[in-house]
């Protein structure tokens, strides 16, 4: 045991010197980390100033909640847009009209044919025939631009005019 004590006493200077160096290095490292922490704290306080929120965690939670609400609204709008895109081609928005003198008698072009069709050429064609004794209105359904009833040349012209609209 005496040998151990003598060995430690001989090396005590080196052991104490090593411990002092380690302590000084840890002190310098601690001061450097404290300086970095102060700089980060100043930046954090500058960022959070005038936000009305106490900490960054609350801010991030609020932003996450707002983002989820926006995503829900966006999904609803996406579904509505898909519904509208499905319905849009079926709308009877294309119109073509032809005026003519149906009976070739004296008079003006008071008879007409008007077609209301969609992109698939489905819809209806209305024809109003006028003569001196009265006027008559007829409606014919259209599927793919054709009808189960015979179409007059004027009615076909109205369908073609409506189909040309863009």
3-state helix, strand, coil in the chain (%, to 5): 55, 20, 25
Place of tokens 């209806």: 124
The residues, ordered by sequence, that sit 6+ positions from 160 with a Cβ below 8 Å of its Cβ are 96
Residue 98 buriedness (CB in 10 A; 0-12 / 13-18 / 19+): buried
Contact 111, 100 (CB under 8 A): yes
61, containing H or E segment: helix 56-87
Residues 117 and 142 sit within 8 Å (Cβ to Cβ): yes
Give CA separation, 10 vs 13, 15, 17, 21, in Å: 7, 10, 13, 19
For residue 55, pLDDT over 80 is answered with no
Specify burial of residue 101 (Cβ count, 10 A radius: 0-12, 13-18, 19+). middle
- pLDDT over 60 at 24, yes or no: yes
Decide: 147 and 141 in contact? Cβ < 8 Å. yes
pLDDT of residue 34: 95
> Mean pLDDT, to the nearest integer, of 143-153?
88
**Residue 23 pLDDT exceeds 80:** yes
pLDDT score recorded for residue 75: 96
Residue among 67, 161, 79, 77 at smallest CA distance from 113: 161
pLDDT, tens digit (0-9, with 9 covering 90-100), for 109-141: 888 999 998 888 889 999 998 877 888 899 999
Residue 166 has pLDDT above 60, yes or no: no
Mean pLDDT of the region 62-83: 94
């Amino acid at each position: 045991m005496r040998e151990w004590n003598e060995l430690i006493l001989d090396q005590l200077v080196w052991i104490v010197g090593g411990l002092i160096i380690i302590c000084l290095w840890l002190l310098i490292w601690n001061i450097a980390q404290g300086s970095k922490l102060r700089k980060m704290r100043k930046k954090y306080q500058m960022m959070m100033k005038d936000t009305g929120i106490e900490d960054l965690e609350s801010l991030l939670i609020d932003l996450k909640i707002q983002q989820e609400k926006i995503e829900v609204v966006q999904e609803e709008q996406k579904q509505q847009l898909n519904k509208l895109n499905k319905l849009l081609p079926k709308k009877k928005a294309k119109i073509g009209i032809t005026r003519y003198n149906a009976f070739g008698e004296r008079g003006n072009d008071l008879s007409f044919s008007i077609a209301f069709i969609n992109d698939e050429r489905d819809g209806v064609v209305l024809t109003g025939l006028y003569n001196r004794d009265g006027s008559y209105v007829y409606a014919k359904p259209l599927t793919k631009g054709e009808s189960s009833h015979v179409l007059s040349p004027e009615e076909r012209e109205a369908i073609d005019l409506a189909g040309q609209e863009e």
